[in-house]
Amino acid sequence: MVESGGCSAKISPKQLEEILKYLPLPKDPNILVDIDTQDDAGVYKVNDNLALVLTTDFFPPVCSDPYEFGQIAAANSISDVYAMGGDPVLALNIMMFPAAKLPMEAYAEILKGGFDKATEAGVRIIGGHTIDDFPPKYGLAVVGYIHPEKIITNAGAKPGDYLILTKPIGTGVIMAGQRLGMATDSDVTEAKYMMKLLNKSGAEVMKKYNIRGATDITGFGLAGHALKMAKASNVSMKISMEKVPLIGNVYNLVDEGCIPGASFRNLEFVEEHLLSAPSLDYNLKMIAFDAQTSGGLLMSISHDKVEEVLNDLNAAGLTFSSVIGTDSQTNDQYLRMDT
Ligand code: CO
Ligand code: CO
Ligand code: CO
């Protein structure tokens, strides 16, 4: 039904940044994280032991099965709480649905998918709101709990840190490839598996090792979210593109020209801060801009914790987790974000 489903449907990050500049920010000492650093969620301190993490995400279908769409949208909405080290607790449904164009069974299936994924995350959905609209869109507004001194932000990356990514990328390419009849069934199955996968266990590992810098990879692509993190943390970031785990045949699909429009919007956002290796492969470069739906966590962690963190991620079933950035200077497939 849609040209760009999932997080590919986001407004261009460049346009968004322009508009948000003029929006006055509320001033309150209890606001611990706001839009100023363009983080994954806002955080509001209730008392010395409790702060609330608030976030919302919704988007048009990224696949044709309504139940799976519901699961993916919910996993994606809840992810922003995990990315900040919070425990998601409550949520509200946000739904746009064309009641005259689609059977109400599809509506019920989307909600059921969202409910089941929320339940898996320990989140109780206690309400929602629907308007009649085409194409359908679905997501959640989520509330999580966090200790005010244990917030993980995109401003927490430090010079010398290593970067770990917990899910392979390429969901935008694969889902576009499916619409064009270019992606294989196994590509699509793997992409949907990744999009449905909660970032819960990755977040647990971050908390265990007291990691302070992280974000999740969604609509602005790996490079776009890395740049936001670099800016908020005031560091530069170098990603070794040959180390980035990819879903199925993503590389070949891009090689055959399957590059969604959202990738070019994301490239435009990062471009002026971008320094890529002269020998960087064009396909790998474009994959860095692929809009992810419900992507993995990007963690910035000190060198001495890398091995243990990777072991724990593996033990938690996140076997595709990889170190995608180190302090090494020798690498001819890098993409560097300078603030
Ligand atoms: Co996010
Ligand atoms: Co979000
Ligand atoms: Co209402």
> What count of other Cβ atoms lies within 10 Å of the Cβ of residue 327?
10
- Closest C-alpha to 333, from 267, 265, 287, 271: 287
Instruction: Beginning with the edge strand found earlier in the chain, give each strand of the sheet holding 334-337 in spatial order.
Output: 237-240, 334-337, 274-276
For residue 155, name the pLDDT band (cuts at 50, 70, 90). Answer: very high
Per-residue pLDDT tens digits for 268-292: 989 999 999 999 999 999 999 999 9
Same domain, 218 and 80: no
For residue 327, name the pLDDT band (cuts at 50, 70, 90). Answer: confident
Asked whether the beta carbons of 295 and 240 are under 8 A apart, the reply is: no
**Nearest listed ligand to the Cα of residue 141:** 2
CA distance to 41, 60, 95, 230, 302, per residue, from 138 (Å): 18, 7, 5, 30, 37
CA 101 – ligand 1 centroid, Å: 32
Q: What is the mean pLDDT of residues 96-118?
A: 97
| Interatomic CA distance for residues 31 and 51, integer angstroms | 9
CA 204 – ligand 3 centroid, Å: 34
Q: Which residue has the higher pLDDT, 335 or 329?
A: 335
Q: What is the mean pLDDT of residues 223-243?
A: 96
Distance of CA 89 to the CA centre of its chain: 19
Is the confidence at residue 4, as pLDDT, over 90?
no
Is the confidence at residue 6, as pLDDT, over 90?
no
Same domain, 84 and 59: yes
| Interatomic CA distance for residues 54 and 80, integer angstroms | 9
Q: Would residue 254 count as lying in a domain?
A: yes
Same domain, 67 and 114: yes
Q: State pTM to two decimals.
A: 0.95
Same domain, 167 and 303: yes
Torsion angles phi and psi, residue 191, rounded to 5: -60, -45
- Cβ contacts of 120 within 8 Å, gap of 6 or more: 198
For helices 13-20 and 261-270, what crossing angle results, to 10°? 50
CA 180 – ligand 3 centroid, Å: 38
Per-residue pLDDT tens digits for 33-86: 998 888 899 999 999 999 999 999 999 999 999 999 999 999 999 999 999 999
CA 194 – ligand 2 centroid, Å: 17
Same domain, 139 and 169: no
Q: Would residue 187 count as lying in a domain?
A: yes
Q: Which residues of 213-231 are buried (b: 16+ CB within 10 A; e: fewer)?
A: bbbbbbbbbbbbbbbbbbb
Q: Would residue 67 count as lying in a domain?
A: yes
Torsion angles phi and psi, residue 315, rounded to 5: -65, -30
Same domain, 103 and 186: no
Per-residue pLDDT tens digits for 64-78: 999 999 999 999 999
Same domain, 142 and 173: no
Q: Would residue 156 count as lying in a domain?
A: no
User: Domain holding 305: CATH number?
Assistant: 3.90.650.10
DSSP 3-state of 143: strand
Residue for token pair 């598996």: 193
Mean pLDDT of the chain: 95
Same domain, 264 and 121: no
Per-residue pLDDT tens digits for 160-190: 999 999 999 999 999 999 999 999 999 999 9
DSSP 31-79: EEE-GGGT-SSEEEEEETTEEEEEEEEEES-SSS-HHHHHHHHHHHHHH
> What count of other Cβ atoms lies within 10 Å of the Cβ of residue 70?
29
Same domain, 101 and 135: yes
Q: What is the mean pLDDT of residues 4-27?
A: 82
CA distance to 132, 136, 137, 139, 293, per residue, from 2 (Å): 16, 9, 10, 16, 15
Is the confidence at residue 150, as pLDDT, over 70?
yes
Q: Would residue 231 count as lying in a domain?
A: yes
**Nearest listed ligand to the Cα of residue 55:** 2
Same domain, 98 and 228: no
Give ∠ CA 339-31-209 in degrees, rounded to 5. 65
pLDDT of residue 15: 85
Q: Would residue 154 count as lying in a domain?
A: no
Same domain, 171 and 136: no
User: Domain holding 43: CATH number?
Assistant: 3.30.1330.10
**Nearest listed ligand to the Cα of residue 127:** 3
Same domain, 87 and 167: no
Tell me which residues are annotated as active site.
Answer: 7
| Interatomic CA distance for residues 151 and 211, integer angstroms | 9
Domain encompassing residue 287: 162-337
Is the confidence at residue 5, as pLDDT, over 80?
no
Q: How many folded domains does the chain comprise?
A: 2
Q: Would residue 1 count as lying in a domain?
A: no
Residues around ligand 1, an ion, CB closer than 5 A: 40, 80, 216
Q: Would residue 153 count as lying in a domain?
A: no
For residue 18, name the pLDDT band (cuts at 50, 70, 90). Answer: confident
For residue 217, name the pLDDT band (cuts at 50, 70, 90). Answer: very high
CA 110 – ligand 2 centroid, Å: 19
- Cβ contacts of 144 within 8 Å, gap of 6 or more: 41, 52, 53, 54, 55, 81, 84, 86, 87, 88, 89
- Report which DSSP code applies to 11: P
pLDDT of residue 3: 67
| Interatomic CA distance for residues 150 and 156, integer angstroms | 11
